[in-house]
Amino acid sequence: MINSIDITRLRNANYLQFQKDFLEIISRNNPAVLQIETKYDELSAKTNELESLFKKVLANPISQELLVLDERRDSAVNGIYYIALGYSYHYDTNLKQAAEALLANIKLYGSGIARLNYQAETATINSLMNDWDNKPELSQAIDTLGLKSWKDELGNINTEFSTRYLDRTQDYGNATPETLKIKREETNTVYYALRDRINALHLLVETPTSPYNTVINQLNALIEQYNLLLTVPDENGETPTS
């Protein structure tokens, strides 16, 4: 039987490559002989549609802008954190206490803000900005540590990132009536139909050696690789359907 994999958790590029690899393995085993040609052709068609849509997304110039903006805000939030971390060892009591207050606030939102996906990082930085603007002890800590310019940089770049992210979202909606999310859901349905067809034909074989053993073993080897990929923490920005 073909092993399971939660393909919904694969990021867009990995999801697309998985479907292409899955199809390639079946192609090498002759879909016509395996009596799965119709289902194979259906998945091929959906995968081609998905690839065309994905290329359109990557071609959007705002995507490249977002990469640059995200790198800048990552640098700013990391810079503030490490400066505060350094001051937390300072011999001056005022500087040490200010650093400790700021670090405690940052840690409320987790230890890896710069590794969050796009939307989560935007929301987290907005929360930090709100804290630093409205909580006197934190505003004072920013001033005491001389971090106002860093704070302004982080706030401004996060606002710009949020604006451009929404611009890109509008572009996607205007450019295509079908989103990647919808196209992936359609592809999922066809993928499962093909997988289940292979499994069903394999179970119906009455002879000792099933002609589906080879393709199933090869597909399971592929699935094992992608299942391992799913165990690696996502530190690169976007969610599977973003």
CB contact set of 63 (below 8 Å; sequence gap of 6+): 57, 168
| Tokens describing residue 8 | 């919904």
Q: What is the structure's pLDDT at 138?
A: 98
CB contact set of 197 (below 8 Å; sequence gap of 6+): 36, 39
CB contact set of 172 (below 8 Å; sequence gap of 6+): 57, 60, 179
3-state secondary structure of 147: coil
Q: What global pTM score does this model have?
A: 0.54
Kindly tell me the burial class for residue 108, based on how many C-beta atoms sit within 10 Å of its own C-beta (0-12, 13-18, 19 or more).
Answer: exposed
Phi and psi for 109 in degrees, rounded to 5? -100, 10
- Print pLDDT tens along the chain (242 aa): 999 999 998 988 899 999 999 999 999 999 999 999 999 999 999 999 999 888 877 777 888 899 999 999 999 999 999 999 999 999 999 999 999 999 999 999 987 899 888 999 999 999 999 999 999 999 999 999 999 999 999 999 999 999 999 988 877 665 555 578 889 999 999 999 999 999 999 999 877 789 999 999 999 999 999 999 888 655 444 444 44
Q: Nearest to residue 197, comparing CAs of 27, 38, 78? A: 38
What are the tens digits of pLDDT across the range 105-126? 999 998 789 988 899 999 999 9
R_g of the chain, CA atoms, integer Å:
25
Pairwise CA distance, residues 73 & 69, whole Å: 6
| Tokens describing residue 24 | 């390639």
